[in-house]
Structure 1
Amino acid sequence: MNITENSFLDLNTSLSTATVAELVLAVQNGDQDAFGELFERYRGGIVALAMRRVRNADEAEELAQDVFIQAMQKIDQLRVPEAFGGWLRRIVHRMAINRMTRNRTAIACDPETLEATCFAVGTPDSFAEDREQAAVVRDSIDRLGDLDQQTLKAFYLHSKSLIEMSDEFDAPVGTIKRRLHVARKRLQKQMEDGVLQAV
């Protein structure tokens, strides 16, 4: 049976009744409509998750859009189609950390321009909280060992896949997964310790 790219799902099912795995396979075979269906199914949950991470509605919408763009570009790397939802949530988490740790540079401008371009982007309090949280994350990462720092930065800040990291660190993917798991735990502990010291 010959399956063309555009008719991947037409043989068995329609987009609305396809399973997530079927949609992912269709996207990997070039069906952009299938990605549109995945977007519709997951958009609400991803925006909600992004909102929990960045605590700003406009930024959450922007983050969600970036997540879906990243997912579209890297979906061929997804080896287990059924894991699409978890894979998408990991992208949200990684990109949210990237946003929080990215240095924000101030742009000097007159008050009218500032008012016109800064509509509905958050309150001064939320900016202060974001800066504090980003500082805590950066400080906590800096207190980790070299290997933990390199692992976290490669995955979260440079958006490298496990396979790319495996090549870069000359280690099996399983070892990279274990390093990430351990580094996350150590980062979490460092952040908790930093919060306790600040109280």
Structure 2
Amino acid sequence: MSWTEITVLVEQAKTGDREAYGELVARFQSSVYAMALSRVRDPLEAQELAQDVFVHAMRKLPQLRDPRCFAGWLRRITARMAINRLTRRGPLFGADTEVLDAVEARTRTAEEQFAVGEAVDQLKEGLAELKPLDRQTLEAFYIRGRSLKQIAREFAVPTGTVKRRLHVARLRLKEVLEGIDPSLAERFATDGAELAAV
């Protein structure tokens, strides 16, 4: 899906088109979840946070002046709501042993563990084949969790340049991954959240 199509969906969603908003949720769900997980460090809480972000965004969507800013606007909402959630929750120092005993343990099978390790190795291989600037930009955003503004300061460039570099670097990485593993390239193409596992 192109950014032009996303802009059209945002415009439609602003008029109350729930199907268009559903398409936006499907498109950005993985990236919002990945960002939420990087902030709250708990899969279930990240899932709840992602749902809250989309509910909040749906209510506030008419206030978004420029539909082209939807992705960044969604990232800011996610960051702000994650901070609010962490502030309300306070520090976690442990849990009741009774609560922990009641939680069903979930571990990866050997096959799942192998598949995850293989995907991570392939992503690292793909990143290694990129030019240094492309690799550094992707690593800063997806692996180290830097915001666009932080990356712009780090590289001493405008935020728009960072956005362009991210877009181009993702396309280049997708091309490299297609030569390594087409299924991984397809998963990565949806939103790039796979990089967070590296």
TM-score interval, normalised by the smaller of the two chains: 0.3 to 0.5
**Larger RCO of the pair (alpha carbons < 8 Å, separation 6+):** 2
Q: TM-score, structure 1 length as denominator?
A: 0.45
Larger Rg: 1
Q: TM-score, structure 2 length as denominator?
A: 0.45
